[in-house]
Structure 1
Amino acid sequence: MMAYTYSLILLFTIIICFIASFDKRILFNHHFGAFVKSAILVAVPFIAWDVWFTATGVWWFNTDYTLGIVLAGLPLEEWLFFICIPFSCVFTYFCFDKFFKLDWLLGFNNIIVFVSVIICSVIALLHDDKIYTLVTAIATITTLIYLHFIAQADWIGKASLVFTILMLGFIPVNGVLTGTGLETPIVNYNPQDFLGIRILTIPIEDAVYGYTQFLLVLYFFKRFKHTRDENER
């Protein structure tokens, strides 16, 4: 049973959202194609990042909690992670955007971007010897600058609020992956490569990493969805 731990975490993360996608009030299933394309597109650099960090020992996996299928040094479950977790995140955003008036958050775009970029820049400069911290900070800075100044995305405030709410699910899910409730963590980290600041057992970098991944998947999802909507008119 222990070998199914990572798989079960992914299943419990996605199953309710997947079933709810077919609800007539939501119909997120109409956008599965847009989601899959966006998730795969973003997964490519993130999986490359994952493979690199695993190969260099920044983090590693306890295969006692996985099915034992390994591709490019990553458990199969880790590959599925880049579909399952973004699915739940984008689905949640889709529902909040559909049922709640969140336009008042548009006014927070500037402050969220500027504060986040400044904080990440300072941390990157002060901790350039910690590779996980540094790469995460650079990825977040680059993503926010692109979305805000180039793509001119007006939904960053909304996405940030939704991600804050998603933290209620992120903490137990990522908590188990990083050792909460287990004898040993599923994902282990080299203490020399990150700040050492944790939310329970979760490195703070994981939360920022997840935020950046969410923003990028959401960006491409909106683009693919818009193209589909335009073609159907």
Structure 2
Amino acid sequence: MQIYTYILINFLTIIICFIFSFDHRIQFCKHFAAFLKGNTVVAIPFIAWDIAFTKMGVWWFNTAYTMPFRLASLPIEEWLFFICIPFSCVFSYFCLDKFFNLNWTNRYNNLLVWITVVVCTVTGILFYQKIYPLVTSIITAGTVLYLHYIAKVNWIGKGSFVYLCLMPGFFMVNGVLTGTGLDSPIVNYNSDQILNIRMLTIPIEDAVYGYAQFMLNIYFFKRFQKND
């Protein structure tokens, strides 16, 4: 049963959100196509990043907790991760935006963008020799700059607030993946290539990585949603 741990994490992450997608008050099911298109656009570069870092030994997967199926050096569960986690995140954003007025958060768009850019720039410069924080800093800073100055979206504050609301789920899922409650982590990290600052068992880079992925999924979901 241990080998089903990662697949079970994926299943538990998505199943409740998937079921409630059909609720008549939510009807997120009408936007499945928009999600799948947007998610595919985001997943392709992030999976490529994952494959590259796995081959470089920046991180690796504990075969005791994954099924034996591999595709491009990644467990099949890792591929599903890039569907299940974004689905639950986009669904949560959709619901919170639908039922609550969160527009007040967007007054902080500029502040959030520049805090993100400054922190990522300083981190990238100080720790340029560590590839995970370096690449994560570049991608995250580039993401918020693109959204703010090129795409000119008006929901960066809202997206950031929702991501903060999702932190309990982030700690549960990533906590287990990085070893919380297990004899050993499912995902292991090369200590020479990370900052070695952990939130419980989770490398801090994971939270920043997740933020960039979340914001890009929201952006492309909204773009394809206009065509629904």
> Shared fold (TM-score greater than 0.5)?
yes
Alignment match, 2:224: 224
- What is the CA-CA distance between 1:8 and the residue it aligns to? 0.5
Match of 1:145 in 2: 145
Give the partner amino acid of 1:74: L
**Deviation per residue, 1:152-188 (Å, 9 max, x gap):** 0101100101000101100011000000011110000
Once the two structures are TM-superposed, the CA of residue 86 in structure 1 deviates from its matched residue by 0.3
CA distance in 1, matches of 2:179, 2:64: 13
The residue aligned with 2:78 is 78
1:200 aligned onto 2:193: no
**What is the correspondence of 1:76-155 to structure 2 with a 5 Å cutoff?**
76-155=76-155
> After superposition, what is the alpha-carbon deviation per residue over 1:97-153, rounded to whole angstroms, capped at 9, x for unaligned?
000001111101000001110011000000000000000000001101000000001
CA drift at 1:61: 0.3
1:7 is matched with which residue? 7
Match of 2:204, as an amino acid?
Answer: I
Aligned-residue sequence identity (percent) comes to 62
State the Cα distance separating 1:71 from its structure 2 match: 0.4
Task: For residue 63 of structure 1, report the CA deviation from its aligned partner.
Answer: 1.1
In structure 1, C-alpha distance between the alignment counterparts of 2:166 and 2:103, rounded to whole Å: 19
Q: Aligned-residue CA RMSD in angstroms?
A: 0.5
What letter matches 2:77 in structure 1?
A: E
Partner of 1:182 in structure 2?
182
How far apart are the structure 1 equivalents of 2:63 and 2:10? Answer: 16
Q: Output the CA distance in 2 between the equivalents of 1:126 and 1:14.
A: 37
Q: For 2:108 and 2:20, locate their aligned partners in 1 and report how far apart those are by CA, in whole Å.
A: 30
- The amino acid that maps onto 2:78 is E
Structure 2 residue runs without a partner (length 5+):
none
Q: Tell me how far apart the structure 2 counterparts of residues 11 and 156 of structure 1 sit (CA, whole Å).
A: 29
Count of aligned residue pairs for this structure pair: 228
Match of 2:50 in 1: 50
How far apart, in 2, do the equivalents of 1:60 and 1:124 lie?
23
Deviations 1:14-42 (A, max 9, x none): 00000000000000000000001111110
- Give the alignment's TM-score, normalised by structure 1: 0.97
Question: Aligned residue for 1:166?
Answer: 166
Task: Report the residue type matching 1:99 in the other structure.
Answer: F
Partner of 1:231: none
How far, CA to CA, are the matches of 1:136 and 1:227 in structure 2?
A: 31
Q: Distance in 2 between matches of 1:108 and 1:196?
A: 30
Counterpart residue type for residue 19 of structure 1: I
Q: Distance in 1 between matches of 2:133 and 2:165?
A: 23
Give the deviation of 1:192 after TM superposition. Answer: 0.4
Q: List alignment gaps of at least 5 residues for structure 1.
A: 229-233
User: How far 1:64 moved relative to its partner?
Assistant: 1.0
Cα distance in structure 2, aligned partners of 1:42 and 1:106: 23
Distance 1:227 1:29 in 2: 15
For residues 28 and 203 of structure 2, the distance between their equivalents in structure 1, rounded to whole angstroms, comes to 32
1:35 is the counterpart of 2:24? no
Q: Distance in 1 between matches of 2:205 and 2:192?
A: 13
Tell me, what secondary structure is at the counterpart of 2:5? helix
Q: Tell me by how many angstroms 1:47 deviates.
A: 0.5
In structure 2, give the amino acid aligned to 1:95: C
TM-fit CA distance, 1:77: 0.3
**Structure 2: how far apart are the matches of 1:138 and 1:227?**
31
